[in-house]
Structure 1
Amino acid sequence: MKMLVTGFEPFGGDPENASHEAVRRLADAWAADPQAGVELVTGVLPVAFAAAGPALTALVDEHAPDAVLAVGEAGSRSAITPERWAVNADDARIPDNGGDQPRGTVIDPEGPARRESAFDADALASAVLAVGLPADASEDAGRFLCNHVAYLVAGLRRDGAPIPGGFVHVPAVRSSGTATVGAETDAPAARSALATETGTDASRDASALTHDGEALTFDDLALGLAAMVRAVASGDAQRASTRETGRVDRASTVIDAAPEVVYEALLDPVALAAWLPPEGATGTIEHMDAREGGGFRAVLRFADPADTKTDATTDVSQVRFVELVPGSRVEQTVTFDSGEERFRGEMRMTWRLEPVEAGTRVTVAATDVPAGISQSDHELGLGSSLANLARHLAR
């Protein structure tokens, strides 16, 4: 698959645009570590109503992509937000980079009032959450350039055939200082509500929004974009898909540690007890036998339990090691101690470790998942565990 990912040029007086910087870093990371089956091409769009459409068309004509993901920044948002749809309206509260300020005009007089993204926004958000970053599906792309491009992307065609396309907003991160633009996506009321919720002036100080106590960076945003590209390429983000057929639950992140160090943390019972329990849980690891054919017993206890498997507050599972490749792979089976049929069965999990420039890319994939386990909840939990692992190894 060839996938085109676009960002926007800087807007107004700001020297940076988070979408552009994130896409640039995505391209650099992909070039350094190409992903099998995905050819990535990127481009930059002007922040101008009259020029953005022709620039998008030119990129599509040049690269002939199989799918397109357009990226813009939203100064009032603290999470990466895939858009569900765009509306057929331009209503700019401020001028674009060319001085144009359309008010209450349609984008395509012959087009529908709303176009849905070709991608499942919830699945894209799940992919981002799985790499440990904040994400949520969005119902409103605004009425500025982002919505304009989102509407065009959702209607792309080549030789009469549709090109799957979608749009995602990233927070208006800056390498220094704070964003002075980027809040055009959301109405003042929405920005005010967010400021009340977060205790910050979200319309002005987007770069101060944090993740795990640290400021989001352009590299974080690029990691989130990479997760969405993989979700699209694998078919997990197809809007019409149930995602349950041939189900594989996945999560991935990059950890600042050597593969050998990460591998040890997958087999050390003290380390496992520290990082394996997802957010809201604690755990113990019992009877560790770290060899092929061996295994351990995991007991997870939840402070605010919801649909636990063993008793009202606890999940207990027996893990067996199927294959251990030092510094590279841990393959295991997991059987839950449960009296409910929907949690029965032997789930297979594979942890893969790949050396990358920033350390180790850790990917976990689960198959034969019991029917009673929600895919989105499972991937969220796996992503939480991986974020714990990254923090544990950073100490």
Structure 2
Amino acid sequence: MMECCNQKRFDRMKPFLAVVFLQFGYAGMDVLSKAALNKGMSNYVLVVYRHIAAFVVIAPFALILEKKVRPKMTFSIFMKLVALSTLEPVIDQNLYFLGMKYTTATFAVAMYNVLPAITFVMAYIFKLEKIKMKSVHSQAKVVGTLATVAGAMVMTLFRGPILNIFGTHGNSAQIQHNSGANLQHAIKGSIMITVGCFSCACFMILQTITLETYPAELSLTAWICLLGTIEGGIVALIMERGDYSVWSLNWDTKLLAAVYSGIVCSGLAYYIQGVVMRYRGPVYVTTFNPLCMVIVAITSSIFLAEKIYLGRVVGAVVIIIGLYLVVWGKSKDYDTPSSIIKDEALPVMESRESNDKDENPNPNDKVITKSNFVAIIRDEQV
């Protein structure tokens, strides 16, 4: 009995552990990618190599493990795959890395905290999220969404003094030299990152919809990486035309950033978030982004000597408050789906019972009964 309870508790913790693992992975990617971009690596080339590495690693597992469960490819599914590979590998990642070039890794991750709010709005538009304005929980969702946007604006427009939190002050000459262009760069970078957030939110929604007709997470990941490599390669050849030296790699940070971000943040991330979204929805996956911001702020300040400004800290705090208002309001919705499932499933179970009685009059042969199903539902609610 104890082992059964522990197993159930672990099963319920799996989505939480999975998304926390993703945030640690994203934090490592941000620091490594910023270091590679600082050394002159093209963000377009980084995106291509990243998805090559992801496809090479994921494709064999998809071919072997999902050979019997992979649905038949149709034109509709293929077009969704093309759209997915355009939204995330091409648009989102290129704009994200460009925004990071203009700003810092900490700033890019902090700006990305508007992603949960954007995803929430997109989910509401596509009827994956419900809002009742008379409900306190729905009001918390709306207020939290507005707070995340306000926090992002504060981070963009207000700098303030430098905070010497980790002893990485930087010299005064460098601060004076950068002060003139930092505001313009921050505005450009924030616009690019915000557009990338919209693209990523659309990717999350579309991935959730696609998994309903193509429930093979590994194969879906392999297709996204393959098509993303092709589309990203075309974009890179156009943007870096005539300069073939940008494609060269050595045993340095550039290669490490491409391989790490490809395997962890494309291959594993697309697969894990696909699995979690099938059971918890896209909003749940994106609500853990602030954890990545905290990790990157600490690691980039220590290893990249990036400066932390008061405005970014204040904006980040506002974003986190708004974000967790959204999370609080969202958490109260978990009771509603279970009641809906209970109401819809019980008639199905009753019909199955009647069929079982007709086919097999022995009641001991029934596998699932109405009372058992109700017990299961109550257990899940607990």
TM-score normalised by length of structure 1: 0.23
Larger radius of gyration: 2
Q: Which has the higher contact order (CA 8 A, sep 6+)?
A: 2
More helix by share: 2
